[in-house]
Amino acid sequence: MTFSISSVPARLATAFCALLLSIPTLLAADSSTEQCLTPTSRAASLLASSQPAATTPPKPHPPGMVWIPAGEFDMGGVGPEARPDEFPVHRVRLDGFWMDATEISNAEFRRFVEETGYITTAEKNPEWEEIKKQLPPGTPKPDDSVLVPGSLVFSPPAGPVPLNNHSLWWQWVKGADWKHPLGPHSRLSKAHDSLPVVHVSWDDAVAFCQWAGKRLPTEAEWEYASLGGEPARRFTWGDTPPSDSFVPANLWQGDFPHNPKTLDGHLLSAPVDSDTPNAYGLHHMIGNVWEWCADWYREDTYKRRAEIDAVSVNPQGPDSSLDPSEPSVPKRVNRGGSFLCDASYCASYRPAARMKTSPDSGMIHTGFRPVLSDPDWRRLLEKNEKPD
């Protein structure tokens, strides 16, 4: 999205590759007859024969996860919606990794909370000493009645409003958290188990991953996985922009932000496995809820990376955050867009779109999905098989 809810400090404010990928399987009708090849397909076959096969690691596989094979891709902006922080486009090479097929659901997060007693950021009182670090010097402390647990909730206005003031449709709601997504009057039931958990901060997502023996993806891993093995492109589904007559993901439908429609059957988030998965088997990589990544956000990340290497190998992101629009607020990267993404206000329903949010912020349209390297999975298996 082009706006940053994290501007409210803390929680209060808140074609080489293409050629290889397109190689057809060559099936000779008669094994004794040489396959007739065009020069292009012959060249592609020679190239393919020199590359290691993209094989899935041996079983057992981590439950609920899909294998993302190693490879290279062009990371960065594609199309007219691309923004300055998505450039320059640069080459990235990644090792293979496992990724959760879906965003973490309420049911999965509940199990984590029940086993650990974990309390999320939104359920804790904000700490003024931490908040004022992100505010101009001399900012007066708000009344203690304001410094209570809560989170940001989308609240559509009654009619059209200027789109340069997000406070007109976002509200800080006391008592809003993952168990009460709309505020204290709302409460999750078993019927909501398949929805993605929301109102989770980056810290909450990391705590879950540590409990599960996993980690958050880098934004390079996230973007690569979202493409499903295809070359970089404008949208995951092609070049056709979404509209009220074309709904390829759980995005905003209707007039933003005052007139939501449920053309896809979902006013807010949708069940984590309710869409058609991409070629890797990943659901809702675009839309539904924003997904936390491991990386600190810097506007110039790609520029700095491209200056160092022609091909960046397994980039981990910068060591610190810098958002020129809010230099005092450290931010982490979010990816994938959400059910609030709309062309009139944002166009973040794209593989390359980057968003930045303070890590202690939770919102009704933000969740996460973990990843895991295969060596770490084997170590986890070995650990779990050892007797206590």
**Worst-scoring range by mean pLDDT, 136-140, 178-182, 223-227?**
136-140
Tens-digit pLDDT profile for residues 14-58: 333 333 333 333 333 333 333 333 343 444 444 444 444 568 999
230 or 31, greater pLDDT: 230
Do the Cβ atoms of 89 and 72 come closer than 8 Å?
A: no
Most confident of the ranges 43-47, 133-137, 369-373:
369-373
The mean pLDDT value for 129-158 works out to 86
Collapse the DSSP code of 212 into the 3-class scheme (helix H, G, I; strand E, B; otherwise coil) and give the result: helix
Tell me, what's the pLDDT at 25?
34
The pLDDT of residue 326 is above 70: yes
Class of domain 5-14+64-385: alpha beta
Distances (CA, A) of 277 to 18, 171, 280, 314: 21, 33, 7, 25
> Is pLDDT of 139 > 90?
no
State the amino acid at position 360 in one-letter form.
D
Interatomic CA distance for residues 273 and 82, integer angstroms: 28
pLDDT at residue 1, rounded to an integer: 38
Tell me the domain boundaries of the chain.
5-14+64-385
The alpha carbon dihedral of 265, 268, 274, 275 has a sign of: positive
pLDDT at 263 over 80: yes
**Residue 15 confidence (pLDDT):** 36
Mean pLDDT for 157-181 is 95
Mean pLDDT across 141-170: 91
